[in-house]
Chains A and B, each alone.
Chain A
Amino acid sequence: MIRTTELKKHYRVHRRPPGLAAAIKSVFHRKYEVVPAVDGVSFAIERGERVGFLGPNGAGKTTTLKVLSGLLHPTSGGVEVDGFEPRRRQADFLKRITLVMGQKQQLIWDLPPSETFALNRAVFDVPDAVFRETMDELDRLLDLGPISSKPARQLSLGERMKCELAAALLHRPTTLFLDEPTIGLDVSMQVAIREFIRAYNERFSATVLLTSHYMEDVAALCPRVIVIDKGTLIYDGDVPSLVKRLHPDKRVSFTRTGPIAVDQLERLGAVVSHDGMRVVLQVPGDRVHDAVVHMLGALPITDLSIEDPPLETVMRELFRASHQSRKSS
């Protein structure tokens, strides 16, 4: 279980204008300002949940993950992970968690990943039998066989991330903090990593808190999302409710099998795209039923589908609303 109560993390940052004069002046007199990276965030996550942690760049996501994993001390507020206070970084706590940062690596650069696995087995004091069993399982899920004996520097980004995940999980942590684990990966590798995270979560009832800029990751993996912006929490709940709240419209798409006048389409909803024979309309939620009945009965169409708007669109809407409310207050 993860719980934060009014969590705040403020940094003291040195600021100076550009130029040589400012550089020389800063040697003698430095100006500092306090930046509230996380500013009063409260949430609770139950064991086994998969939660997407979203926000624009600089929202405070990575800072929060670092506080939860014990790397940063909170400025104020309460933090509890699996009954531990992370800032104390007790050995038993460290054995229960893992932090994977897509942009930082723990693999030993010039050695094969198998050496990092052996090192982690030793420092996390994983019994041999458990280590072998876990490695077999990770190998099956991530297909590590051909890559774990090549030096880390010769691996592709995707292969490296697979090995990073394996290194981070071989002590079988029950709480996973994943910060952009799919950054820079191609689509098929993103899908593979996503499937692996889901399988690990189901197999070990592990709690997963995931940040990602790829909304597909979050949509595919996380039934719940926590959204922060400028260090404050702006949404905590399930994805469908968020979509419904911000975007009650649905996207109705179909393939045209004959000519349809534009004004006919516009009477049914806003035309999002009209690309050749494929048409996408945005229809208010309360009018979807009638619109679809009309389309199927009166228009030359086939292959009709109804979807929520993409999560990216919903998130953009949410951040815009958050910025406007901050401006007006």
Chain B
Amino acid sequence: MTVAARTLASIRATPTLLRVGLAEAIAYRAEFVVWMLTSTMPLVMLGLWTSVAAEGEGAFAQFTADDFIAYYLVTLMVRNLTGNWVLWQINDEIRRGLLSMRLLRPVHPFVTYAASHFASVPLRCVVVLPFALILALSAARAQLTGDPALIALFAAAVLGSWILTFLTLVTLGCLCFFIEKSMALFEVYMGVFAIFSGYLIPLPLLPGWVRDAADWTPFRYMLAFPVETLLGWYDRGDVLGLLGRQWLFVGVMLAIALGLWRAGVRRFEAYGA
């Protein structure tokens, strides 16, 4: 079977993989909602920063209370739409030997992992809907861009963000092949992510050197970039440039994930499956 034939077979399998993935997400709906509730840090930050803005005569460093409300609600939505727990899944499958079953299927495991996690996006949409409604009904909606082109670019940025987050977590998951349990690395990852992605604090409020550094990490493109796009902070040309940079990071992260996966599976095959 050639690479092209294998790719076509994977494409043909994708609708079923998505359908079964959605069925799984629905079966685990209670756990799913609890998981999503663990990503509500932006609401805490929203409360904190709107208080700071109120005490600073309605604004803090040019951010009004409405700016903060719009920023954190969009952050919450993007974070929840692009999150997944593939890192935990890979760790569990490696440690319990269940990866063997996946390796015996003639479709690359990245395809099956990606499909099963992407399938949960509709359910994620349902969970973020109330926050979207709150934003739409509040005065903060005025902070969102009304440019249809920017809104379309926002959708593309969210897709890129989903893929980049997925590949980063797959990369961390692959480290389990080498260090037996890589979940602790997630805590380290979350610490760095929270700063450089704008998850905790909008990047413009950080020192200049942190903002410059964030430009050259994938974290900014996992969260801050789509959020800032919907808030209309950039013009179309800037967004296209940033989108290109985001997809460059997707390519780099895919290469790293594939390399680690191959090396890890070789180790798995050598030490015991």
Q: Give the B-binding residues of A (Cβ under 8 A).
A: 11-12, 66, 69-73, 87, 89-92, 94-95, 97-99, 101, 104-106, 108, 110-111, 115, 118-125, 151
Q: Is the CB of A91 within 8 A of B9?
A: yes
Q: Which residue of A lies closest to B96 (CB)?
A: A104
Are the C-beta atoms of B1 and A91 separated by less than 8 Å? yes
- 27 A-B pairs with CB atoms under 8 Å apart are A11-B271, A66-B100, A69-B104, A70-B104, A71-B104, A87-B269, A89-B104, A91-B5, A97-B104, A98-B104, A104-B101, A108-B24, A110-B27, A110-B28, A111-B24, A111-B27, A118-B20, A119-B20, A121-B16, A122-B12, A122-B15, A122-B17, A123-B105, A123-B106, A124-B106, A125-B9, A125-B106
Would A111 and B106 count as touching, CB distance under 8 A?
A: no
Q: B103 — which chain A residues lie within 8 A by C-beta?
A: 70-71, 89
Q: Apart from A108-B24, A111-B24, A125-B12, list 14 A-B contacts with CB within 8 A.
A: A11-B271, A11-B272, A71-B269, A71-B273, A72-B270, A72-B273, A91-B1, A101-B100, A104-B98, A105-B101, A110-B24, A118-B16, A122-B15, A122-B16
Q: How far is the CA of A72 from the CA of B101 in the complex (A)?
A: 13
Task: Identify which of A66, A115, A123 contacts B273 (C-beta below 8 A).
Answer: A66
Note all chain A residues with C-beta closer than 8 A to B104.
69-71, 89, 94, 97-99
A123 pairs with B107, CB closer than 8 A:
yes
- Measured CB to CB, the nearest residue on chain B to A121 is B16
Q: Mark B103-116, 1 if CB is under 8 A from A, else 0.
A: 11111000010000
Q: With an 8 A cutoff between CB atoms, is B236 at the interface?
A: no
> In the docked arrangement, what's the CA distance between A122 and B19, Å?
11
Q: Tell me which residues from 22 to 46 in chain B have a Cβ below 8 Å from any Cβ of chain A.
A: 23-24, 27-28
Q: Residue B13 contacts which of A90, A92, A101, A123 (CB distance < 8 angstroms)? A: A123
- The answer to whether B97 has its CB under 8 Å from any CB of chain A is yes
Q: Which of A104, A123, A125 interacts with B17 by CB under 8 Å?
A: A123
Query: Chain A: which residue is nearest B267 at the CB level?
Result: A73
Docked-complex contact A95 and B20, CB < 8 angstroms: no
Residues on the B chain within 8 Å of A119, using CB: 16-17, 20
Q: How many residues of B contact A (CB 8 A)?
A: 31
A110 surroundings in chain B (CB, below 8 A): 24, 27-28
The answer, yes or no, to whether B95 is at the interface (CB within 8 Å) is: no
Chain B contact residues: helix, strand, loop or mixed:
helix
Instruction: Point out which of B9, B97, B98, B101 has the most chain A C-beta atoms below 10 A from its C-beta.
Output: B101
Q: Which of B6, B12, B15, B19 interacts with A91 by CB under 8 Å?
A: B6
Q: List the B residue with the shortest CB-CB distance to A115.
A: B20
What 9 A-B pairs come out closest when comparing CB atoms? A122-B16, A91-B106, A122-B13, A71-B273, A91-B1, A110-B27, A106-B101, A94-B106, A73-B269
Please report the C-alpha to C-alpha distance between residue A123 and residue B270 in the assembled complex, in whole angstroms. Answer: 26
What residue of chain A has the Cβ atom nearest to residue B16's Cβ? A122
Task: Report if A108-B20 is in contact (Cβ < 8 Å); known contacts: A11-B271, A72-B272, A87-B269.
Answer: yes
Most chain A CB inside 10 Å of its own CB: which residue of B6, B17, B106? B106
* Pair B269/A111 contact, Cβ less than 8 Å: no
Contact B266 A73 (CB under 8 A): yes
Q: B269: which A residues are within 8 A, CB to CB?
A: 71-73, 87
Contact B1 A90 (CB under 8 A): yes
Q: A92-B1, A119-B20 are in contact. Are A12 and B271 (CB under 8 A)?
A: yes
Residue of chain B at shortest CB distance from A97: B104
CA distance A90 to B6 in the complex (A): 10
Contacts of B23 in A (CB 8 A): 111, 115
Residues of A within 8 A of B107 (CB): 123
Assembled-state Cα–Cα distance A122/B101 (Å): 15
* Contact partners of A71 in chain B: CB under 8 A: 100, 103-104, 269, 273
